Amino acid sequence: MNTQQINTSRYLALHVWTIAIILPNACHRTIARFCNRQDAEDHLRVLRRFVPKATFEIVFDPDWNKEAIGG
């Protein structure tokens, strides 16, 4: 494991609140990660203001392995 992978793993482990955009055909994509829910909610308010036609959701995702590095 190199330093980049360790730093990425630590970042993902600490940033468990995510904002996902809901896409057609029941797909979704994580677009941001946060340490606490309040930061996620604040960012979500901005996203909804500037992209009103998109659907965003806040998700608690402690199981980051499924998304980490191409997962």
Over residues 18-30, mean pLDDT: 93
**CA–CA gap between residue 9 and residue 20 (Å, rounded):** 19
In the predicted structure, residue 45 carries a pLDDT above the cut 80: yes
Over residues 60-64, mean pLDDT: 78
> Exposed, middle or buried: residue 19 (CB in 10 Å: 0-12, 13-18, 19+)?
buried
**CA–CA gap between residue 65 and residue 47 (Å, rounded):** 26
14 vs 64 pLDDT, higher one: 14
- C-alpha closest to that of 56 among 20, 17, 15: 20
- Predicted TM-score (pTM) of this structure: 0.73
Helix (H) or strand (E) holding 14: helix 3-14
